[in-house]
Chain A
Amino acid sequence: MRGRLIHKSDLLKIVDVLRADHRVMAPFNGRGRDSFFDEVTDTNKNDIAIHVLNPYYPPKRFVFPHMQKLLKITAGDKPAIQTIVHDEKLAVFGMRSCDVEGIFHLDRFYLGNAFRDGHYETLRKNLFIVNMVCSDAERDVDEDCFCVCADAGTAAKGHFDLQLMDLHDESGEFLAVAGTPAGEAFFKLPFFRKAEAAHVARRRAVLTEVRKHFKTATSWYSALTNFITRGKVSDETWKKVGDRCLECGGCSYVCPACTCFTVTDRPTAEKDGFDRVRVWDACALSGFTRMAGGHNPRKSVHDRRNRRFFRKLGHYFIQREFSMACVGCGRCVRVCHGDVGMPSVVEIVRRETAGSAGAIDREKP
Chain B
Amino acid sequence: MSCKNESIYQPSITICDEVRDEIQDVKTFFWHFEDPTKEKAFRTFMPGQFAMVSLFGAGEIAISLPPSPTEDKLFFTTRRVGSATTVMHKLKPGDRFAVRGPYGNGFPMKQYEGRNLIIVAGGIGLIPLRSIILYALHNRSKYGKIQVFYGARTSKDLLYTENLKQWQADKGFECYLTVDKAEDGWKNNVGVVGSLFKMPGVDMPVDNTTVFVCGPPIMFRFVLADLQKMGFEDQNMVSTLERYMKCGVGKCGHCCIGVAYVCTDGPVFTLEQIRKLGEVI
Contact = CB atoms under 8 A, between A and B. Distances in A.
B39 interface: no
B253 A297 contact: no
A116 B259 contact: no
Nearest to A125: B3
Contacts of B242: 291
B249 A114 contact: yes
A79 interface: yes
Contact of B254 (A122, A265, A288, A303): A288
A101 B268 CA distance: 34
Contacts of B227: none
Contacts of A288: 244, 254
A263 B8 contact: no
A85 interface: yes
Given A75-B57, A81-B10, A81-B11, A261 B253 contact: yes
Contacts of A293: 81-82
A113 B10 contact: no
Interface stretch (B58-66, B145-153, B157-165): B58-66
Interface string A187-227: 00000000000000000000000000000000000000000
A290 B256 CA distance: 13
Contacts of B246: 261-263, 281
A202 B72 CA distance: 72
Contact of B56 (A83, A274, A310, A311): A274
Contacts of B44: none
A274 B87 CA distance: 16
Interface string A68-87: 00110101011111010101
A281 B4 contact: no
A85 B10 CA distance: 12
A264 B10 CA distance: 14
Contacts of A360: none
A281 B254 contact: yes
B37 interface: no
A65 interface: no
Interface in B1-25: 2-13
Given A79-B98, A81-B13, A122-B3, A262 B254 contact: yes
Contacts of B58: 265
Contacts of B253: 259-261, 281, 283, 311
A71 B3 contact: no
Given A83-B5, A113-B250, A276-B9, A265 B279 contact: no
Given A118-B3, A311-B256, A289 B10 contact: no
Contacts of A310: 258
Given A79-B98, A263-B59, A293-B81, A117 B243 contact: no
**Chain A: interface residue count, which band?**
35 or more
B225 interface: no
A115 B57 contact: no
Interface in A263-316: 263-265, 267, 272, 274, 276, 278, 281, 283, 288-293, 297-298, 303, 307, 310-311, 314, 316
B92 interface: no
B74 interface: no
Given A75-B57, A303-B279, A261 B252 contact: yes
B280 interface: yes
B257 A297 contact: yes
B140 interface: no
Nearest to A311: B256
A352 interface: no
A34 to B, nearest CB: 29
Contacts of B13: 79-81
A121 interface: yes
A115 B253 CA distance: 14
Contacts of A186: none
B85 interface: yes
A104 interface: no
B264 interface: yes
A290 B259 contact: no
A119 interface: yes
A287 to B, nearest CB: 9
B115 interface: no
B137 interface: no
B198 interface: no
Nearest to B12: A81
> Of B6, B11, B60, B247, which is in contact with the most chain A CB atoms at under 10 Å from its CB?
B247
Nearest to B79: A293
Given A261-B246, A292-B81, A298 B279 contact: yes
A145 to B, nearest CB: 26
Nearest to B9: A70
B251 interface: yes
A317 B259 CA distance: 7
Given A79-B13, A81-B13, A114 B264 contact: yes
15 contacts: A75-B56, A78-B96, A79-B56, A115-B264, A118-B2, A119-B3, A122-B4, A259-B251, A263-B252, A265-B59, A267-B57, A274-B57, A276-B9, A291-B244, A317-B259
4 nearest CB pairs, A to B:
A118-B3, A292-B82, A260-B253, A75-B56
Given A118-B4, A297-B257, 13 more contacts: A71-B9, A79-B56, A81-B11, A117-B8, A117-B251, A122-B3, A262-B246, A290-B244, A292-B82, A292-B85, A293-B81, A297-B280, A298-B279
Interface of B: 2-13, 54, 56-61, 81-85, 96, 98, 242-244, 246-247, 249-254, 256-259, 264, 279-280
Interface of A: 70-71, 73, 75, 77-81, 83, 85, 87, 109-110, 113-119, 121-122, 259-265, 267, 272, 274, 276, 278, 281, 283, 288-293, 297-298, 303, 307, 310-311, 314, 316-317
